[in-house]
C-alpha cells in the first residue's frame, strides 16, 4: 500500500470493540429492516390505492423512496464491515466516489422534498379554494423531477471537483465516503472545493430554511386571523409532523458539516453523520404515515398489514 495514488482506499467505518460487534450489528440490522419495511409498505400502499393518488401522498412516496435510497447507500456496507478488522476495510476509489455521490444526492433531495411539502401545506391551508387547481398530481411530478434534477447537477459538480484532484493519502477517516472525505485525500490546493462546497451548503440550507420559515410564518398568520377550528387543527398537524422531521434532519446535517472543520471532534462527527442517515429514514414513514392523524392512511395501512 505504499503507492499513495492507489485505487484501493482504507475506509475506517464504525469503530466498535469486539464485545460490542454483535449488539451493534443486531441494532443496525433491525433499524435497516424497519426503514426498508416501513417505507416500502407506505409506497406500495399509496401506489395500489387510487384514492391516495393525491399530492400530499405522492410527496410521502418521494420522501420514502429517498429514505430507502439513503439508508441502502451506507448501512449494508457498515453491516458487512463491522466484523472486519479496521485495518482490512478496503474500498475501491470508484466505489467510494459512487457512495459519496449517493450520500449527497440523498441529503440534498431530503431538503428539496421537504421544501415542496412546505409549499403544498402552504397552498392547502392559505389557499384552500385554489389548492386543487394549483397542486395537481402533474404539478407534484414536475416539482419532484425539478427537485431531483437540481440536486443531481449540483452534486455532480460538487463530487466532480474532488475527483479531479490527485491523491496523496488513502485513508478515509469516516464511517462512509462523502465529498469531504474525498478531497481530504489530496495534498493539492482545495480552495475551489471549499468555495463551491460552502456555496452549495449555503444555497441549499438557505433555500430550505428560508422557504420553510416563510411558509410556516404565513400559515401561522392565517391561523391567528382565523376562527376555524378545522383550519387550526390542520395547521397543527402540519407543524408537528413536518417541523419535527425538518429539525432532526437539519440539526444532524449542519452539525455533521461543521464538525468536518474540527479534526479533533472525529467521534462526534461520526455520530452526527450516523444520525442524519439513520434517524430520519427510520422515523419518516412512521410520522408521516401513521402518527399524523390521517384516517385513510392508518386504516388502509392496518388492513394491508393484517392481510399480508
Cell numbers at residue 291, please? 402518527
Tens of pLDDT, residues 119-157: 888 888 788 888 888 989 899 999 999 999 999 999 999
> Span 69-79, mean pLDDT?
91
Closest Cα to residue 176, out of 107, 113, 250?
107
Pairwise CA distance, residues 232 & 227, whole Å? 8
Tens of pLDDT, residues 187-225: 888 899 999 998 998 899 889 888 888 887 887 787 777
Residue 92: DSSP 8-state: E
Q: What is the pTM of this model?
A: 0.84
**3-state SS class at 226:** coil
**Residue scoring higher pLDDT (7 or 308):** 7
pLDDT at 13: 78
Tens of pLDDT, residues 255-301: 766 766 666 666 666 777 777 778 888 887 777 765 444 555 556 55
Q: Which CATH superfamily is domain 8-303 in?
A: Rhodopsin 7-helix transmembrane proteins (1.20.1070.10)
Q: Where are the domains of the chain?
A: 8-303
Tens of pLDDT, residues 90-110: 999 999 999 999 999 999 999
User: Do the strands 171-172 and 8-11 form a parallel or antiparallel pair, or are they unpaired?
Assistant: parallel
Cell numbers 391567528 label which residue? 224
> Confidence class of residue 2 from pLDDT cuts 50, 70 and 90?
very low
pLDDT at 291: 45
Q: What is the mean pLDDT of the chain?
A: 82
> Confidence class of residue 4 from pLDDT cuts 50, 70 and 90?
very low
Amino acid at each position: 500500500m505504499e503507492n499513495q495514488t492507489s485505487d484501493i482506499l482504507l475506509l475506517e467505518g464504525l469503530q466498535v470493540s469486539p464485545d460490542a460487534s454483535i449488539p451493534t450489528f443486531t441494532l443496525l440490522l433491525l433499524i435497516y429492516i424497519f426503514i426498508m419495511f416501513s417505507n416500502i409498505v407506505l409506497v406500495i400502499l399509496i401506489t395500489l390505492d387510487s384514492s391516495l393518488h393525491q399530492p400530499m401522498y405522492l410527496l410521502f412516496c418521494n420522501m420514502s423512496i429517498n429514505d430507502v435510497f439513503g439508508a441502502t447507500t451506507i448501512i449494508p456496507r457498515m453491516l458487512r464491515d463491522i466484523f472486519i478488522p479496521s485495518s482490512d476495510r478496503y474500498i475501491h476509489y470508484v466505489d467510494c466516489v459512487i457512495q459519496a455521490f449517493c450520500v449527497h444526492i440523498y441529503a440534498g433531495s431530503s431538503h428539496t422534498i421537504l421544501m415542496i411539502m412546505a409549499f403544498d401545506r402552504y397552498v392547502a391551508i392559505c389557499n384552500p379554494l385554489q389548492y386543487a387547481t394549483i397542486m395537481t398530481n402533474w404539478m407534484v411530478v414536475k416539482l419532484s423531477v425539478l427537485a431531483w434534477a437540481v440536486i443531481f447537477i449540483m452534486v455532480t459538480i460538487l463530487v466532480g471537483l474532488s475527483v479531479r484532484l490527485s491523491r496523496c493519502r488513502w485513508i478515509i477517516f469516516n464511517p462512509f465516503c462523502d465529498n469531504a472525505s474525498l478531497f481530504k485525500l489530496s495534498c493539492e490546493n482545495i480552495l475551489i472545493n471549499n468555495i463551491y462546497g460552502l456555496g452549495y451548503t449555503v444555497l441549499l440550507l438557505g433555500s430550505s430554511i428560508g422557504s420553510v420559515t416563510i411558509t410556516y410564518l404565513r400559515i401561522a398568520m392565517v391561523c391567528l386571523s382565523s376562527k376555524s377550528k378545522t383550519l387550526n387543527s390542520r395547521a397543527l398537524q402540519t407543524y408537528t409532523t413536518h417541523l419535527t422531521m425538518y429539525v432532526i434532519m437539519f440539526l444532524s446535517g449542519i452539525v455533521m458539516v461543521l464538525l468536518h472543520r474540527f479534526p479533533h471532534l472525529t467521534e462526534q462527527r461520526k455520530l452526527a453523520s450516523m444520525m442524519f442517515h439513520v434517524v430520519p429514514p427510520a422515523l419518516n414513514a412512521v410520522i408521516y404515515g401513521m402518527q399524523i392523524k390521517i384516517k385513510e392512511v392508518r386504516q388502509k395501512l392496518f388492513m394491508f398489514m393484517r392481510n399480508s
